[in-house]
Amino acid sequence: ETGVTQTPRHLVMGMTNKKSLKCEQHLGHNAMYWYKQSAKKPLELMFVYNFKEQTENNSVPSRFSPECPNSSHLFLHLHTLQPEDSALYLCASSQEGGQPQHFGDGTRLSIL
Amino acid sequence: GEDVEQSLFLSVREGDSSVINCTYTDSSSTYLYWYKQEPGAGLQLLTYIFSNMDMKQDQRLTVLLNKKDKHLSLRIADTQTGDSAIYFCAESSGYSSASKIIFGSGTRLSIRP
């Protein structure tokens, strides 16, 4: 078990669809993160949650909507995405901010 | 803002040592990390070092930190085909909820037979 589990692993959706990405961590951590990894671009931090409260929104478009119902679960709700949103979306968690982060295997998202 | 830089590619012969280098700008770094990403997978935390240390060894991996020059390196001894991956250098400072990890762009390590 990796400790951080992301579902689905792959997702293909049209620009008008609504879908959600799920992340679950079994490490007892208090901070969770969403990152976007695109080809030939550095890893981009999207959102940070500490103790279920959002502490960082890195100028992410509103078509991405995060939700953190408890310290173990993190969602990314997707709506009206654009082709340039196709990427690998990675979830991570850490005990607290600034401490080593543990990553899931990501969701590979393709927008048609 | 703070920055982490590393070369994009490294090619080594199987059985040789690989050395991946990284420089960073944050003089108040607390942790420095090496992550490994294999195709189709997320980032795996390989090892990390506290900024008050200058070396850490873990089996085939040796991390060296030169804090004065803000230089971090990862040495992989006896490189194997399974070591083929992208290696990310990263750093963070502080322990608050505002503390973030800053990642480099990754070094793609390829192994020649």
Instruction: Write out the two tokens for A83.
Output: 């082709």
Cα-flanking dihedrals φ and ψ of residue B81, to 5°?
-60, -30
d(CA B99, CA B93): 6
Give all strands (DSSP E) within chain B, no chain letters. Answer: 4-6, 9-13, 18-24, 31-37, 43-50, 55-58, 61-66, 71-76, 85-92, 101-103, 107-112
The span from the CA of A62 to the CA of A81, in Å, is 10
User: B40 vs chain A: nearest CA distance in angstroms?
Assistant: 7
Partner A contacted by B108 (CB < 8 A) = no
Average pLDDT, chain A: 93
Query: Would the CB atoms of B35 and A103 count as touching at under 8 Å?
Result: yes
Taking a C-beta distance cutoff of 8 angstroms, is the pair B89, B34 a contact? yes
Summarize the confidence of residues A99-104 as an average pLDDT: 93
pLDDT bracket for residue A2 (50, 70, 90): low
Which residues are bridge partners to A34 per DSSP?
Answer: A47, A91
Q: How many Cα atoms occupy the beta-carbon half-sphere of A31 within 13 Å?
A: 21
Average pLDDT over residues A45-70: 93
Instruction: List the single best residue of B3, B22, B99 to mutate versus A (max A Cβ within 10 A).
Output: B99
